[in-house]
Structures are given as structure tokens and as C-alpha cells.
């Protein structure tokens, strides 16, 4: 007796699609959780102004005084 409404391999295809969806969902979940943790440390909060970001970068030593002054001029501050 044939299963799958007359299509003998329909059950195998459906099972393959099911497992691909499960595995894809797990991969997506792991990536989104990992990305969420890493991005909070490197990106600035949305409420920070460009001057706040510039001051923070200068305070951390990421940019020199000359770069700081040039960027302030570029921002029109």
C-alpha cells in the first residue's frame, strides 16, 4: 500500500523539510543570541549624541587630540 496520497516518497520529503526547518531554527536562534550579546558592548546606545560618542572615544584613547578636534569641527561643534 502506498502512503502519501499516491506519492511514494512524499513522507521522506516532508520529513527532510521538517528537519531542515528545525536545524535552521536552532542555527538562527544561536546566531541571534550570540549577536545580541556581542553588539551591546560595541555599539553605542541610541540616546547618545555624536558629541557623547566622540568624547567617549577620546576618553578611551581610541583617537588622538588632533582627530578629536577635527571630528568636532566636522560635526560643526
Q: What is the pLDDT of residue 77?
A: 81
Q: State residue 11 phi and psi, 5-degree precision.
A: -65, -40
pLDDT digits (tens, 9 = 90+) for 13-29: 888 999 999 999 999 99
pLDDT in tens, the chain (77 residues): 555 566 666 778 888 999 999 999 999 999 999 887 655 555 656 788 899 999 999 999 999 999 999 999 999 88
How many Cα atoms sit within 13 Å of 48 on the Cβ side? 11
Round to whole Å and give the CA distance between 14 and 20: 10
Please tell me the distance from the alpha carbon of residue 58 to that of residue 42, in angstroms, as a whole number. Answer: 15
Amino acid at each position: 500500500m502506498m502512503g502519501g496520497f499516491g506519492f511514494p516518497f512524499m513522507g521522506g520529503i516532508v520529513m527532510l523539510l521538517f528537519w531542515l526547518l528545525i536545524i535552521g531554527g536552532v542555527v538562527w536562534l544561536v546566531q541571534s543570541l550570540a549577536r545580541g550579546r556581542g553588539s551591546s558592548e560595541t555599539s553605542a546606545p541610541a540616546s547618545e549624541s555624536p558629541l557623547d560618542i566622540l568624547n567617549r572615544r577620546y576618553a578611551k584613547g581610541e583617537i588622538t587630540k588632533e582627530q578629536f578636534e577635527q571630528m568636532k569641527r566636522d560635526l560643526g561643534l
